[in-house]
Amino acid sequence: MRLQYRNLDKTKAFATLKKLSTRLPSLKELLTPRRIASCSIPAAGGLTYNCAAKLVTNEVLNALRQLAREQQLIAKYKDLYNGGIANRGENRMVLHHLTRGRLGKDVFHDGKNLRTFYKGQLRKIRAFCGKVHAGEIRGSTGKRFRTVVQIGIGGSDLGPRALYLALDQYARERKLLRMQARFISNVDPDDTNGVLAGVDLETTLFILVSKSGTTQETLANERLVKAKMASARIRGMNPDKHMIAVTSETSPLAKSSRKKGGMPAFFIDDFIGGRYSSTSAVGGAVLSLAFGPDVFAEILAGAHEADELAREPNLLKNAALMDALIGVWERNFLRHPTTAVLPYSQALLRFPAHLQQLDMESNGKSVNINNRRLAYSTGPIVFGEPGTNGQHSFYQLLHQGTDVVPLQFVGFRKAQTRCDIDVEGSTSQTKLDANLAAQVVAFATGKKDKNRNKSFAGERPSSLIYGETLTPRALGALLAHFENKVMFQGFIWNINSFDQEGVQLGKVLTKEVLAGAADKRLAAYAAMLGVPQTNVST
């Protein structure tokens, strides 16, 4: 199929959807038990996506189906994983799907089979983990490694951190936790000092993660960590023997790693975007060290299953596609600028922060793939916290505020840990799930009261992803579900979801400030914040 790239507002479905958005039924009335039963889409990893409580009629669904066809969503996905230049501005392929499995053709770059390359890195990681876990590779003072600390920021931090936290209790309960993991990200020295205050340097292995090998924050933190190790004055301590790297083969980090010899570097390449790198060596090293390579393999299997399902052209069988289309419906036609992710699972406490990056960095764009300014809204603002915590916090606004926030609930029938007790007739897990069920209905249907302050308008749409328990496989599927959703939305909006030019200006101006800013506005702010302005004559 020849791919065509057109803006959303040039599709026929756009006009249809616009018309439909002016004559909608009430969600209260739409949400019948029958609809709830019929709106479940089986997703990967044993998960199910249910969109009964979304304001989507059959007519809307038909128009969304047409939109999917017009924007050639499945064909563009296939083109992407088969090695099309989906990141056009940077002239790059987009191959994170290949880190977990092959969906289509072999993909080559400079004669190298990339699936083989990514798999090869994971094999190297597996072998390395084996030696670390067996005590064959040890710290420089002869002690076994007990802790792994990832030093990375953005994509090298949020995804792996969210996944680690998501499986920490799961692994502990099942005696799978091999090493505890910690994360240093911020260039704020308090972050590094705080993390180091809680670990034993002799038994700690650091992973330096930077694709380019030039990330300012990460390199500064590497040096700070090494300085702390040197100043600890531990006999025999050799910081280089406590530091491995995940980077690209051509980066300065890879070179310096080779020079020093000894500790390995694991590689990714330009076709794995930072925010899509959790299933590459970026997540692979830290998660395999923490939980063992088999747990990481399960995450990959769940993600791959989700990737396979995402090829399904039938909307009613493709949860990521449905989710993407409903998101665009809510953003561009119902005109809701934000969306909240609300996992009823404490293990997913940092998953919303990862999705915030994934979504907002991918689709927070104002130009189409040909760099023309768009006349419609793109990626929404994403935020969220676990339930039930959020219920006692910002849900007040979600229920009774003046704006509507579409919601994405996530929940599991069973907890990861087994210890639970009955209090007043129900376990904690049952209470958790009862709260979740109650919220979906409360948001949709509301409740009238003579006292308007106790009245709930309802009409607040949500969808629910649920499963049996948050296993590594379910977690991988959940991760890939959202990655694929965001990708489909990028196709619909006709934008490049895989670059991030919006981060560049800050970098340039930071350098100016550090060099002693010539721009007097920069200098003024720098002075307030105590940044030495040596080059400035005032």
Interface of this chain with a second copy, residues 264 to 323, rule: CB under 8 A: 274-275
Spell out the long-range contacts of 130-139 with Cβ–Cβ below 8 A and sequence spacing 24 or more: 130/293, 132/179, 132/205, 132/289, 133/178, 133/179, 133/289, 133/292, 139/202, 139/203, 139/204, 139/205, 139/241, 139/242
Among 127, 371, 518, 535, binds a second copy (CB under 8 A): 371
Please choose, out of 71-79, 113-121, 254-262, 516-524, the segment that lies near a second copy by the rule CB under 8 A.
516-524
Least distance from a second copy to the Cβ atom of residue 106, Å: 31
Q: Spell out, one character per residue from 41 to 60, where the chain touches a second copy: x when CB under 8 A holds, - when not.
A: -------x-x----------
Among 26, 32, 214, 535, binds a second copy (CB under 8 A): 32
What DSSP string describes 65-83? HHHHHHTTHHHHHHHHHTT
Least distance from a second copy to the Cβ atom of residue 101, Å: 27
Among 197, 259, 261, 537, binds a second copy (CB under 8 A): 197
Among 357, 408, 463, 494, binds a second copy (CB under 8 A): 357
Please choose, out of 71-79, 111-119, 306-314, 494-502, the segment that lies near a second copy by the rule CB under 8 A.
494-502
Torsion over CA of 430, 436, 438 and 444, rounded to 10 degrees?
A: -160
**Contact call for residues 259 and 240 (beta carbons, < 8 A):** no
**Contact call for residues 246 and 267 (beta carbons, < 8 A):** yes
Strand partners, 246: 209, 266
**Burial zone of 396 (CB within 10 Å; 0-12 exposed, 13-18 middle, 19+ buried):** exposed
Kindly tell me which of 307 and 359 has the beta carbon lying closer to a second copy.
359
Q: Does 529 bind a second copy (CB under 8 A)?
A: yes
Q: Does 506 bind a second copy (CB under 8 A)?
A: yes
Residue whose structure tokens are 């790297």: 245
Q: Does 504 bind a second copy (CB under 8 A)?
A: yes
Least distance from a second copy to the Cβ atom of residue 240, Å: 17
**Burial zone of 104 (CB within 10 Å; 0-12 exposed, 13-18 middle, 19+ buried):** middle
Q: Which of 100, 282, 99, 130 is nearest to 207 (CA)?
A: 282
Residue 271 CB contacts under 8 Å (≥ 6 apart), including other chains: 92, 93, 94, 95, 96, 98, 109, 114
Residue whose structure tokens are 């910081």: 239
Least distance from a second copy to the Cβ atom of residue 529, Å: 4
The size of the chain, in residues, is 538
Q: Quote the tokens at residue 256.
A: 């310096």
**Residues between 239 and 268 that touch a second copy (CB under 8 A):** none
What is the sign, positive or negative, of the torsion defined by CA atoms of 229, 231, 234, 235? positive
Q: Does 337 bind a second copy (CB under 8 A)?
A: yes
Residues classed as catalytic = 361, 392, 507
Q: Does 338 bind a second copy (CB under 8 A)?
A: yes
Among 37, 85, 127, 518, binds a second copy (CB under 8 A): 37
Kindly tell me which of 135 and 189 has the beta carbon lying closer to a second copy.
189
Please choose, out of 8-16, 67-75, 247-255, 365-373, the segment that lies near a second copy by the rule CB under 8 A.
365-373
Kindly tell me which of 136 and 403 has the beta carbon lying closer to a second copy.
403
6: left (phi over 0), alpha (psi -120 to 50) or beta: beta
Give the separation between CA 161 and CA 277, rounded to whole angstroms.
Answer: 12
Give the separation between CA 535 and CA 513, rounded to whole angstroms.
Answer: 10
**Residues between 442 and 481 that touch a second copy (CB under 8 A):** 442, 445-447, 451-454, 456-457, 464, 466
Centre a 10 Å sphere on the Cβ of residue 95 and count the other Cβ atoms it contains. 27
Among 190, 233, 235, 261, binds a second copy (CB under 8 A): 190
Among 16, 221, 463, 494, binds a second copy (CB under 8 A): 221
Among 59, 70, 420, 459, binds a second copy (CB under 8 A): 420
Kindly tell me which of 143 and 431 has the beta carbon lying closer to a second copy.
431
Least distance from a second copy to the Cβ atom of residue 345, Å: 6
Among 73, 205, 474, 526, binds a second copy (CB under 8 A): 526
**Residues between 88 and 107 that touch a second copy (CB under 8 A):** 89
Q: Quote the tokens at residue 531.
A: 């940044």
Residue-wise over 193-202: b if at least 16 C-beta within 10 A, else e? eebbeebebb
Among 361, 478, 487, 498, binds a second copy (CB under 8 A): 361
Kindly tell me which of 323 and 499 has the beta carbon lying closer to a second copy.
499
Kindly tell me which of 127 and 227 has the beta carbon lying closer to a second copy.
227
Give the separation between CA 243 and CA 264, rounded to whole angstroms.
Answer: 9
User: What is the total count of residues that contact a second copy (CB under 8 A)?
Assistant: 156
Q: Does 400 bind a second copy (CB under 8 A)?
A: yes
